[in-house]
Amino acid sequence: MPAANQPVLDYLASRLSHPAKVMQAPVPSEAELAAILSTALRTPDHGKLEPWRLVLIDRAAMVRLADLAEARARELGADAEKIDKGRGQFDRGTLAVAVIASPKPSGKIPAAEQFLSAGALCMNILHTATAAGWGANWLTGWVSHDAPFAARAFGCTEGETVAGIIHIGTPAAAMPDRPRPDLTRLLTRA
């Protein structure tokens, strides 16, 4: 029988996301963030294609992106709620990393698997930041799925998409656990 890594299992059994809106300073230093991201890059990347890239969003960029989200929402004729949702994660953010799914041409690795790799990287950043003692939250929202916004905000080109925006900081308060999925309802046998 293999030896369990009990501290990791305990961490995974108790990990919680902290909403981005409750994150505050301090945030990781450049060296701490580099360590988090270097560790997170040990993600399954399906053929060593590195089908993703990262965009650092510091406080100054948050201000610019909040304004850009509002401008784009107004271009779309959005209501006040959509404008607030677009601005919100940036207005209230302090530090985040956008994971851009950037599939590479490959005769062997389908684009869908490359996109899943970007999702795995998002989860690795979330886990690594949390394990390092920070609060972390993986967000998307309409700004992640709007190609013109993604192009202006993150330089996304055709074929690239925002897999996630991972906010990292100090949680303002402890989060209670939430109800979790019922395994017996979800698991079947082949």
When pLDDT is cut at 50, 70 and 90, the band that residue 47 belongs to is confident
**Per-residue pLDDT for 92 more than 90?**
no
Q: Which residues are annotated as a binding site for FMN?
A: 15-17, 42, 46, 138-140
What are 33's two structure tokens?
Answer: 């963030």
- At residue 37, the pLDDT reads 98
Tens of pLDDT along 63-88?
A: 999 999 999 999 999 999 999 999 99
**Per-residue pLDDT for 120 more than 90?**
yes
Q: Which residues are annotated as a binding site?
A: 15-17, 42, 46, 138-140
Domains delineated in the chain: 18-171 (3.40.109.10)
DSSP 109: S
**Per-residue pLDDT for 172 more than 90?**
no
DSSP 155-173: ---TT-EEEEEEEEEEESS
What are 18's two structure tokens?
Answer: 């902290």
